[in-house]
Amino acid sequence: MGLAFGLAALSASSHAPADDTQAERPFLGGFLQESRILYPLTIGQWTARDEHRYEQAEAGASVRYQHGDLRDRWIDVYFYPAGIVPDEHVRAMAQGTVDGIRASPGNEGLPAGELETSHIALSGDKDRRPATLYSAGFVLARDGTRYASAMTLLAKDLYYIKGRYSGEAASHTPESLHAELKDFSTRLVRETRLYSTGECWMPPPIVQVAAPDPKATGALVNIGSEGAARAVGFADRVEAVDAGSSEAVIAQFLAYSTSGRWIAGCNPPEDMTPAVPDGMRELRFEYRAPPERSDGSTPRLRSPRAGVG
């Protein structure tokens, strides 16, 4: 599928197909043009020691967390762009990872736990739907040595967040690493902030009129003073006495959110310089449209890389 669906028809439950024009618009450099990821430098006894940005823009970046001074204990976290991804697609990606590990040479017959589903209540927003986390623990073989390992995967704010944690099977069990990685991932997801902008941010236009009508068909919000409407928001427009007024801007945002068009994680361009609190680090991505109208997909990501994954 191309760019998901027309944002004018966007809603949490909409799955309308894109038209031909939308399908030509690229995912990276179009739907997403800039992203900022603020992640914590420490999580409990884990400390971020290394950060790596991949050459392919769609591969994002990874951060390695080390446990105290133990150089043989680390968790790798991967951030890469997803778009709007239904939970069933995330689950399919996680299951594909587990199945691929089971089928890898040398891993046949080694213990591999079933994919688990859990939910993470996101801090700071009691009305927001919890994030769905998929995870599993397993044993894998590499260069003649067996390792206990675990993985986690979820989608949040237009990005995938993936965790991997391994240790020699002589010292660790898949169950212990799985539990530890799930706890780590829960804390990471709650503390991490992701901001993006691009064509995903398409609030309704503001139209200047002499007298907005709050009783007009389709009116969603009404901003006024002294009994008179100053701005009225609809799904496809905002009518305002003064197109540049604060009332018009407020009505625009409220109509955008109320109509179901707002996408979690997508923000206006002016919000792309967030303050970086102490104890956090910022990753910055600026995406350019790839040549030949490619949507930036790669087989590794196992997803159609569009407005909807």
pLDDT in tens, 17-52: 333 344 567 899 999 999 999 999 999 999 999 999
Concatenate the DSSP letters of all residues of 137-177 into one string.
EEEEEETTEEEEEEEEEEEETTEEEEEEEEEETTT--HHHH
In sequence order, what are the beta bridge partners of 277?
Answer: none
Q: Would you state the pLDDT for residue 216? A: 94
Strand partners, 131: 120
Q: Which pLDDT score, from 0 to 100, does residue 205 have?
A: 92
> Which residues neighbour 270 within 8 Å (Cβ) at sequence distance 6 or greater?
none
Number of Cα atoms under 13 Å in the Cβ half of residue 248 = 17
Mean of pLDDT values over 248-265: 88
Q: Would you tell me how many other CB atoms lie within 10 Å of the CB of residue 286?
A: 10
- The pLDDT of residue 22 is 46
Q: Partners of 40 in the beta sheet?
A: 280
E strand or H helix at 206: strand 206-208
What Rg value do the Cα atoms of the chain yield, rounded? Answer: 22
Residue 303 — very low, low, confident or very high, per pLDDT cuts 50/70/90?
very low
Q: Judge contact between 142 and 65, C-beta under 8 A.
A: no
Name the CATH architecture for the domain at 35-194+277-301: 3-Layer(aba) Sandwich (3.40)
Selected residue with higher pLDDT from 94 and 296: 94
Domain ranges in the chain? 35-194+277-301, 206-258
How far is 184 from 272, CA to CA, in rounded Å?
27
Expressed in angstroms, the distance from the first to the final Cα of the chain is 8
Tokens of 252: 């625009």
Q: What is the pLDDT of residues 154-213, one digit of tens each?
A: 999 999 999 999 988 888 899 999 999 999 999 999 999 999 999 999 888 999 999 999
CA distance 305 to 85: 9
